[in-house]
């Protein structure tokens, strides 16, 4: 059965530089699909092509079986978009923003009023109904943008960094709402720099860099396949390095730490304490962040 989104050899170039290069993916109905990658990896460009904002250079792209370049109006009627930057209208209140946006979809006034009240309750902003945008906190604005994206009852929700800059309480509220939307049958695609968010929300995801996909799969599978289930950490000292080298154990140095990926952390930790001259050995579960840094590197991206 074809997916809600189908892309094959999808490419977008700017002045001869490929922002997205020959990627292939499919998003199934009802799943949460994530795009991860460092700055400039091509995540937002991919989302903009899906949202009918940026035409592709080559390859094929289908959303609901339609071509975004040929049927943008029909596709936009069925999608909701949460952009990375806040673009609420400062001239209107919370309710005013939703009611005004509803007009773009020719939603009758009475129905728009009903949806507005329901959505304000859904994102816990009922008490802020008549408050102007400049009086809202950052978290309130993100929640209102989510409500606005839902005003047309979309089948597909596109989220670009949905919880950027939010405190833990606001992040957890949005996560809860996204799970509720998925339970109601919505399909969601998102980008995020929060690796814990991706691991918690996404059924499947891709990690991309320089416009191409590095890996694709379920978060837990990627962690297991790429780095193993556990990480052993020690101080980065000459004695530790010499010990690991002598034992033939692969390791990675990260600043003042040495990390070893393993599937048996307790046994390895005991061995290292016995044989290596170190007083500190700690263990932890491997995470999606370990996968991300292994594949994309640790150098700062601007």
The answer on 12 and 105 residing in a single domain is: yes
Radius of gyration of the chain (CA): 23
Q: Which domain holds residue 32?
A: 5-218
Nearest to 33 by CA among 254, 279, 230, 206: 206
**pTM confidence score:** 0.91
Residues 164, 263, single domain; the answer is no
Mean pLDDT over all residues of the chain? 92
Q: Where is average pLDDT lowest: 155-164, 167-176, 221-230, 254-263?
A: 254-263
Rounded distance between C-alpha atoms, residue 186 and residue 154, angstroms: 8
266 and 187 in a common domain: no
Per-residue model confidence as pLDDT tens digits over 90-99: 999 999 999 9
**Based on the structure, what is the number of domains in the chain?**
2
State whether 169 and 53 are in the same domain. Answer: yes
Do both 249 and 136 map to the same domain? no
Residue 268 lies in a domain: yes
Q: Please say if the pLDDT value at position 261 is more than 90.
A: no
Residue 290: inside a domain: no
Q: Alpha carbon of 35 to those of 45, 161, 183: distances in Å?
A: 11, 10, 21
CATH number of residue 123's parent domain? 3.40.50.300
């Amino acid at each position: 059965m074809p997916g809600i989104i189908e892309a094959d050899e999808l490419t977008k170039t700017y002045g001869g530089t490929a922002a997205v290069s020959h990627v292939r993916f499919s998003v199934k109905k009802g799943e949460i699909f994530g795009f991860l990658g460092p700055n400039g990896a091509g995540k937002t460009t991919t989302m903009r092509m899906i949202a009918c904002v940026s035409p592709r250079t080559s390859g094929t792209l289908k959303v609901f079986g339609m071509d975004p370049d040929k049927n943008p109006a029909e596709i936009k009627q069925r999608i909701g978009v949460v952009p990375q930057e806040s673009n609420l209208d400062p001239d209107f209140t919370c309710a005013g923003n939703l009611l005004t946006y509803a007009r773009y979809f020719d939603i009758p006034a009475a129905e728009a009023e009903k949806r507005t009240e329901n959505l304000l309750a859904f994102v816990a902003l009922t008490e802020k109904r008549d408050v102007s945008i400049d009086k809202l906190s950052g978290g309130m604005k993100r929640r209102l943008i989510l409500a606005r994206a839902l005003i047309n009852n979309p089948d597909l929700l596109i989220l670009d960094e949905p919880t950027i800059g939010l405190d833990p309480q606001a992040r957890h509220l949005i996560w809860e709402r996204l799970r509720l939307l998925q339970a109601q049958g919505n399909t969601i695609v998102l980008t995020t720099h929060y690796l814990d968010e991706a691991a918690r929300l996404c059924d499947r995801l891709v990690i991309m860099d320089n416009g191409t996909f590095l890996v694709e799969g379920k978060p837990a599978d990627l962690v297991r396949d790429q780095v193993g289930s556990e990480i052993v950490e020690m101080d980065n000292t000459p004695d530790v390095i010499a010990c690991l080298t002598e034992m033939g154990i692969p390791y990675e140095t990260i600043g003042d730490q040495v990390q070893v990926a393993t599937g048996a952390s307790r046994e390895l930790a005991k061995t290292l304490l016995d044989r290596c001259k170190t007083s500190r050995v700690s263990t932890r579960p491997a995470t999606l962040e370990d996968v991300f840094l292994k594949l994309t590197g640790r150098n700062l991206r601007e």
